[in-house]
Structure 1
Amino acid sequence: MERNADTIPAAASGAGYTRVNLEAVEDSAAKHGFGDFGEARFATGDLEAERTGVSFHRVRPGRRQSFGHRHEQAEEVYVVISGSGRVKIDDEIVELAPRDAIRVSATSARCFEAGEDGMEMLAVGARHEGDGEILPGWWS
């Protein structure tokens, strides 16, 4: 069944769980003027998660995220769902393919770039409110 924005349920809660379709989560990239590189949907609040950060990222074909970032405390794991690309972690560039998972330590700067087929990925990690530093123009 094909889904579109009109048929995607925003959220459903039950005893002990919350279900959210990631396509229904607000696209923060577009909201903040970075929609040209792709999408960034931060689902932690929609999921009512208290200690876990979850986000879905879509990087458009041949594009790079507009900025890098790092954390003080939050280690993250990124899982490529589809497509391919690269990630720059500090001074190293790592190739990524579907179903690759890569752990990035909190203090390591990171930024993602999609290949010709674009790249979709999930990011998960412990949630630490306000624990993030944006690095504009970091991978130039």
Structure 2
Amino acid sequence: MSPETTYTHVNLESVEDSAAAHGFGEMGEARFATGDLEAQRTGVSFHRLRPGRRQSFGHRHEQAEEVYVVLSGSGRVKLDEEVRELVAHDALRVAPPVARCFEAGDDGMELLAVGARHEGDGEILPGWWS
């Protein structure tokens, strides 16, 4: 195999901001890097929430377990009916059927999400954490 087929190097800031592209830019940024990385089996996304803002919708999966890592800042996550506080360097594993949504604290919050990729597996939950 040649090097170009064995790895892909991408700066997450260069990945399209899907939040802005879909009218959710006031909340922050959402950069889904799986395609840019040419990943076949792994989902990767970077989320930047503005201070005091909440993601525009919750979501859950049928198959995909996800791990979230708080890179900087702090905030909260709602997991089904439980709300937990998060700070920088916290790691959180979420089982597929658990509904989740993140909210930044006063200093904003940056998250990295990784997990096995299952095409079409996500369910969007508008207004779930109101």
- 1:107 aligns with 97
- 1:27 aligns with 17
One-letter amino acid matched to 1:132:
G
Q: Does 1:79 align with 2:69?
A: yes
Secondary structure, aligned partner of 2:119 = coil
One-letter amino acid matched to 2:31:
R
Count of aligned pairs between the two proteins:
128
Secondary structure, aligned partner of 1:30 = helix
Offset of 1:15 from its aligned partner? 4.3
Q: Give ranges in structure 2 of 5+ residues lacking alignment.
A: none
Q: Does 1:122 align with 2:112?
A: yes
Secondary structure, aligned partner of 1:18 = coil
Instruction: State how far apart, in whole Å, the 2-side matches of 1:61 and 1:80 are.
Output: 14
Instruction: State how far apart, in whole Å, the 1-side matches of 2:60 and 2:26 are.
Output: 22
One-letter amino acid matched to 2:125:
L
What RMSD in Å do the two structures reach over aligned CA positions? Answer: 0.8
Q: Does 1:139 align with 2:119?
A: no
Return the TM-score normalized by structure 2: 0.97
Of 40, 49, 71, the residue aligned with 2:39 is: 49
- 1:8 aligns with none
One-letter amino acid matched to 2:99:
A
